[in-house]
Every structure is written in structure tokens, then in C-alpha cells.
């Protein structure tokens, strides 16, 4: 059994936190992915404690839409939780894929027309000169449309005039026509190593991948710090609040 000081416990226990508007209640839901095995807990504004969701593990990403929480595992499985009733239930929407690799990274974004897009980020582990370093490089991005009716993932070959932002915070899906400074059909990715707290001197994996030919352009900036992991977009609760009541 491992013992950690209180000020270090969060580095080992908390993985990701998500804040989702809850229009039906006129409030917000906070979802936490946490240790020891990537379980889920949630709380609403005003709750005095967290509610642990039914048994499940290895969750990497979440999204809340149509009063359901969709949770995505590191093996490609999608679970749906109904948080509205007196008892939370879990349904497996899509089972894990057959050819997953343990160090692949998974993301989910809400595409236009309320569709879900699951993103698989394939990485390569590079031999490092020191055992204190883990070099990671993004090599390929695979895109899947979530077909709820057929309960399967359908691979698609591009984003057309859209772009994706991937990293430690929630993935973003944007229209390049509204942001002419962005490159269409490209994925902007930032470092997303979950155990980076152990390897603060790690080289950063930050760049732009063109889905037309899988070419990668590295982004180098003196503004990147070695700790914590960089994020692309800082969320605004004011904007979330305005959009909730529109």
C-alpha cells in the first residue's frame, strides 16, 4: 500500500474534472475521473458529497448531452449514465474495440447536429537518454463517428472544413471558416501524458497534424513551461452561463 502526503494526494488521485451545463435543472454538473482505477464520481451544485457511479474503470473522457453522461474508456468502450433518476444506471453503448493499444489516447467531441465524434490519438514511445524521461510523439489521428443506433464506431477519413484541439482539457471542435487563422482538416494537439507529474523534464508533444497526409508540424514556443501540462483553451463559466439560458 502506498502512502502520500495530503498535499501530494491530488497528483495521484485526481485525473480529470469536467464541468457541464445541466439545462433541465438550470445548474451545472461536475464529473471527476479519479483513482485508483479511473472511476467516475459526480456532484451537482449544492450537493454535500460526491456520488460514485456504478462499477466501471479506465475512463478517459466524458461528455454530457440530452440528460445523459457518456463516458469513454481507454479501450474504446462507451458507457451511458442516466443521472436524472433516483438510482443511477449504466448502459454499455459500444463495447471495447478489438485492436486497441494501451498507450493510445482517446477523446470525444460533440459534432454539429448533436453527433458524437470519438478520436483516437496514436502515439509512439521514443527511447530517451535518461530513465527519468519519457519521450512521446503523436504519429496518427483516427476519427470515428459514434453510430448510436447500430452501436458501433464508423471510421471517417477527415474533418473537411473543421479542426480539432486535443490536450489535457476538453477536446474542442471548431469551424475553420469562422477562424481563418486555423488550418482546416487539421488536429492541433498538446501534451497529454497522464503520468507527467513523475517526469517534469519531459520533452513536449505539441504540434499540428494534417489529416490529408498525416504530416506533422511541431509547435515550438518559449512560452511552454515544463509544468503543468499545457492546455489550449481556458473555459469561461460566464460564457457557459450565458449559453445555458439562451
pLDDT tens, position by position, for the chain (246 residues)?
A: 567 677 776 666 888 889 999 888 888 999 999 988 889 999 998 899 999 998 888 898 899 988 899 999 888 889 999 988 788 889 999 888 776 666 788 888 887 766 889 999 988 877 655 555 667 789 999 999 998 888 888 999 999 999 999 987 778 889 999 988 899 999 999 887 655 545 556 677 889 999 999 999 988 765 555 555 666 665 555 554 443 333
Q: How many whole angstroms separate alpha carbon 161 and alpha carbon 177?
A: 7
The conformational region for residue 182 under phi > 0 = left, psi -120 to 50 = alpha, else beta, is: beta
In a domain, 60, yes or no: yes
In a domain, 54, yes or no: yes
Three-class secondary structure of residue 97 per DSSP: coil
What is the model's pTM? 0.78
In a domain, 204, yes or no: no
Q: How many whole angstroms separate alpha carbon 198 and alpha carbon 11?
A: 9
Domain, as residue range, for 26? 1-100
Domain count of the fold of the chain = 1
Grid coordinates representing 210 are 494534417
In a domain, 184, yes or no: no
In a domain, 71, yes or no: yes
In a domain, 96, yes or no: yes
Residues 6+ positions from 95 with CB-CB distance below 8 Å:
77
Instruction: Tell me what pLDDT residue 198 has.
Output: 54
In a domain, 37, yes or no: yes
In a domain, 63, yes or no: yes
Q: How many whole angstroms separate alpha carbon 97 and alpha carbon 75?
A: 6
Q: How many whole angstroms separate alpha carbon 202 and alpha carbon 134?
A: 6
Q: How many whole angstroms separate alpha carbon 86 and alpha carbon 82?
A: 10
Q: Give the CA count within 13 Å in the CB-facing half-sphere of 123.
A: 23
Amino acid at each position: 500500500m502506498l502512502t502520500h502526503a495530503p498535499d501530494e494526494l491530488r497528483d495521484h488521485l485526481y485525473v480529470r474534472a469536467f464541468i457541464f451545463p445541466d439545462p433541465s435543472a438550470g445548474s451545472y454538473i461536475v464529473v471527476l475521473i479519479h483513482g485508483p482505477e479511473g472511476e467516475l464520481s459526480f456532484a451537482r451544485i449544492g450537493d454535500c458529497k460526491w456520488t460514485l457511479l456504478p462499477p466501471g474503470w479506465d475512463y478517459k473522457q466524458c461528455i454530457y448531452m440530452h440528460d445523459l453522461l457518456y463516458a469513454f474508456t481507454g479501450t474504446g468502450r462507451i458507457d451511458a449514465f442516466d443521472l436524472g433518476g433516483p438510482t443511477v444506471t449504466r448502459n454499455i453503448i459500444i463495447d471495447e474495440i478489438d485492436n486497441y493499444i494501451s498507450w493510445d489516447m482517446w477523446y470525444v467531441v460533440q459534432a454539429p447536429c448533436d453527433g458524437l465524434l470519438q478520436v483516437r490519438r496514436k502515439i509512439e514511445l521514443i527511447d530517451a537518454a535518461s530513465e527519468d524521461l519519457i519521450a512521446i510523439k503523436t504519429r496518427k489521428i483516427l476519427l470515428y463517428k459514434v453510430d448510436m443506433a447500430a452501436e458501433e464506431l464508423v471510421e471517417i477519413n477527415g474533418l473537411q472544413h473543421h479542426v480539432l484541439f486535443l490536450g489535457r482539457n476538453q477536446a474542442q471542435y471548431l469551424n475553420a471558416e469562422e477562424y481563418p487563422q486555423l488550418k482546416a482538416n487539421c488536429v492541433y494537439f498538446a501534451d497529454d501524458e497522464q503520468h507527467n507529474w513523475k517526469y517534469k523534464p519531459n520533452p513536449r508533444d505539441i504540434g499540428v497534424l494534417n489529416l490529408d497526409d498525416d504530416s506533422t508540424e511541431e509547435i515550438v514556443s518559449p512560452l511552454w513551461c515544463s509544468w503543468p501540462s499545457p492546455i489550449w483553451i481556458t473555459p469561461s463559466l460566464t460564457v457557459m452561463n450565458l449559453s445555458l439560458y439562451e
